[in-house]
Chain A
Amino acid sequence: MTFATMLEQMSTGMLRTVGIFVLTLIFSMPLGMLVAFARMSKNRIIKNIARIYISVLRGTPLMLQLLVVYFAPFYIWGANIGGYRFAAVIIGFALNYAAYFAEIYRGGIESIPKGQYEAAAVLGYTKSQTFMRIVLPQVAKNIMPAVTNEVITLVKDTSLAFTLAYQEVFTIGKQIAAAQTSFMPFVIAGVFYYIANAVVAFVMEIFEKKMNYYR
């Protein structure tokens, strides 16, 4: 097998990896916001549900969570899980990352001084105006480094989709490596992850710079 063919084989896997990455972010970032709100809720029940959610999803391996998400519908309801593999990967990743994002958001939101809320209240801002215009932009800036870390980890974590035999770049790489008795696919996968993360780091730096107009 030539290097070019190998690369071509793995490129479909790369696309799938990017798919996991993008969809996970699309779903986990807003979901994390909801979990963060629930975690900060004054209602004790909601607060504790969120606390347990975060504790379980951060406290157990993502690999195990993927297995649970994929197989639970069958073991609990006897549901047919054919065709559910990809959805399970995305749900598993999104639920897991939402827990991490929730804690990052919470830290960010709690770091905003009370005075900001009070100034907005006296000026007549509604609660949602205060959050969207005053709190959120400042939170976004504060949590940027932590989010960058998490996003970079996600790029590498996508390889855990092999647990559900989803054919992302690492799973395909392992298969080619096995068929070709070659280490090259791992090198390709490594370079791919590195480049993907270089892109992520570059984009996040642009965001950080954009928000650096104030201190």
Chain B
Amino acid sequence: MKKFIALLLVAVMTLTMFTACGSTDDGGEAATDATVFKMGFDAEYPPYSYMADDGTYTGFDIEMAQAVCKELGWEIELIPIDWDAKDAELNSGAIDCIWSGFTINGREDDYAWSVPYVDNSQVILTKGDSGIATPADLAGKKVGVQIGTSALELLQEGGKCADLAATFGELLTFNSYNTAFVELEAGSVDAVAIDIGVAKYQVNSRDEGAYVILDEAIATEQYGVGFRVADTDLRDQIQNAMLKLVVDGTYAELAEKYELTDFICLQAGTTENAVDAIEEEPAAE
């Protein structure tokens, strides 16, 4: 019994020590402070959210979120997350939203969504010399896709593009797109199914003509900011600030900076429509 009590005591002490060093390590900011906005994102998702050369996080979504918080006078806390754990991170309150090229389609009821701010197509990326010109040419080929992305949802059984996927030789899943690109480069996959924004970033950052994007997209979809279903107030605050940034041109500027001009779907003139659309949304929920 003595040993058991000693065991318990040490366990408690150990835990206390952990908590102590944990809080000092993270700077001990008052995480409950309402003016701190905890933005959760995938740090491996350029150009939306990724690590810049100076080691800070940047990207279209990050800069938008920073601008939104500036607009609201809030402090932003950037929290990179593991994409597979995104729902647990969000529900547990470790983050306040998922803002990282997050596809609305198919998840409409799972989150409180902002207005869609990017219209994103799912495309096929291959090597320039692959001889693949249309999705139909993928018959018998190996196609790579990242786990947990919309491309996979479209292609897997029951998805909208399952019929197309059925013609593939093999559908390979990867933990990160970067791994898929390495495989593509190495020739062990023939094509990668991917969001067009990411695809363009890849094409432009590599040798010209090394990779091509097929003209025919396999699907189109929209990105939004996802909040906990109950957090509609927070969603509204963030969204109103987003819409202000649309009006003052910040949104378009950032889109240009990240070469996303073709995909943005909020325009100053149509903002009112967007706001109307949001105000109707609670009824739809």
> Taking beta carbons and an 8 Å cutoff, which residues of A are in contact with B?
1, 5, 8-9, 12, 23, 27, 30-31, 34, 37-38, 41, 43, 46, 67, 71, 74-75, 80-88, 90-91, 94, 162-165, 167, 171-172, 174-181, 183
With contact pairs A175-B44, A178-B46, A178-B178 given, residues A84 and B82 touching in the complex (Cβ less than 8 Å): no
Q: Does the CB pair B182–A183 fall under 8 Å?
A: yes
Chain B 89-132 near chain A by CB (<8 Å), digits 1 or 0: 10111100000000000000000000000000000000000000
Could you give 28 example pairs across A and B, Cβ below 8 Å? A9-B53, A30-B10, A34-B6, A34-B10, A37-B7, A38-B3, A43-B1, A43-B3, A46-B7, A71-B85, A74-B91, A75-B92, A80-B31, A81-B92, A82-B32, A83-B28, A85-B26, A86-B22, A87-B19, A87-B23, A164-B85, A174-B176, A175-B43, A175-B50, A177-B176, A179-B46, A179-B51, A180-B205
Known: A9-B55, A41-B4. 6 other contacts (CB 8 A): A38-B3, A84-B94, A86-B22, A87-B25, A174-B178, A178-B43
Q: Does the CB pair B44–A174 fall under 8 Å?
A: yes
Q: Does the CB pair A38–B4 fall under 8 Å?
A: yes
Q: Does the CB pair A91–B92 fall under 8 Å?
A: no
Q: Does B80 contact A (CB under 8 A)?
A: yes
Complex CA gap A91/B91 in Å reads: 21
Complex CA gap A87/B91 in Å reads: 19
Q: Does the CB pair B82–A165 fall under 8 Å?
A: yes
List of B residues within 8 angstroms of A83 by Cβ: 22-23, 26, 28-29, 31
Total contacts A to B, CB within 8 angstroms? 133
Q: Which of A23, A41, A176 is the one whose CB lies under 8 Å from B51?
A: A176
Q: Which of A9, A38, A178 is the one whose CB lies under 8 Å from B44?
A: A178
Complex CA gap A82/B174 in Å reads: 29
Complex CA gap A3/B123 in Å reads: 32
Q: Which of B10, B38, B50, B178 is the one whose CB lies under 8 Å from A82?
A: B38
Q: Does the CB pair A37–B3 fall under 8 Å?
A: yes
- Which of A80, A81, A179 has the most chain B CB within a 10 Å cutoff? A179
Distance of A106 from chain B, by nearest CB (Å): 15
Q: Does the CB pair B93–A74 fall under 8 Å?
A: yes
Complex CA gap A208/B28 in Å reads: 41
Q: Does B21 contact A (CB under 8 A)?
A: yes
Distance of A59 from chain B, by nearest CB (Å): 20
List of A residues within 8 angstroms of B176 by Cβ: 174, 177-178
With contact pairs A38-B3, A74-B93, A81-B92 given, residues A91 and B18 touching in the complex (Cβ less than 8 Å): yes
Q: Does the CB pair A85–B94 fall under 8 Å?
A: yes
Q: Which of A8, A87, A174, A177 is the one whose CB lies under 8 Å from B22?
A: A87
Q: Does the CB pair B51–A31 fall under 8 Å?
A: no
The size of the chain B interface, using a CB distance under 8 A, is 52
List of B residues within 8 angstroms of A12 by Cβ: 55
List of B residues within 8 angstroms of A23 by Cβ: 21
Complex CA gap A83/B93 in Å reads: 11
Q: Does the CB pair B44–A165 fall under 8 Å?
A: no
List of B residues within 8 angstroms of A94 by Cβ: 14, 18
List of B residues within 8 angstroms of A175 by Cβ: 43-44, 50-51, 80
- Which of B28, B38, B44 has the most chain A CB within a 10 Å cutoff? B44
Q: Which of B19, B52, B178 is the one whose CB lies under 8 Å from A181?
A: B178
Closest partner residue, chain B, to A10 (CB atom): B55
Q: Which of A74, A82, A163 is the one whose CB lies under 8 Å from B85?
A: A163
Distance of B92 from chain A, by nearest CB (Å): 4
Complex CA gap A164/B81 in Å reads: 7
Distance of B209 from chain A, by nearest CB (Å): 15
Distance of A100 from chain B, by nearest CB (Å): 17
Complex CA gap A172/B54 in Å reads: 12
Distance of B163 from chain A, by nearest CB (Å): 31
List of A residues within 8 angstroms of B181 by Cβ: 181
Q: Does the CB pair B10–A178 fall under 8 Å?
A: no
Closest 10 pairs (CB-CB, A-B): A87-B22, A82-B31, A178-B44, A74-B92, A179-B50, A175-B51, A83-B26, A175-B43, A87-B18, A9-B55
Distance of A208 from chain B, by nearest CB (Å): 28
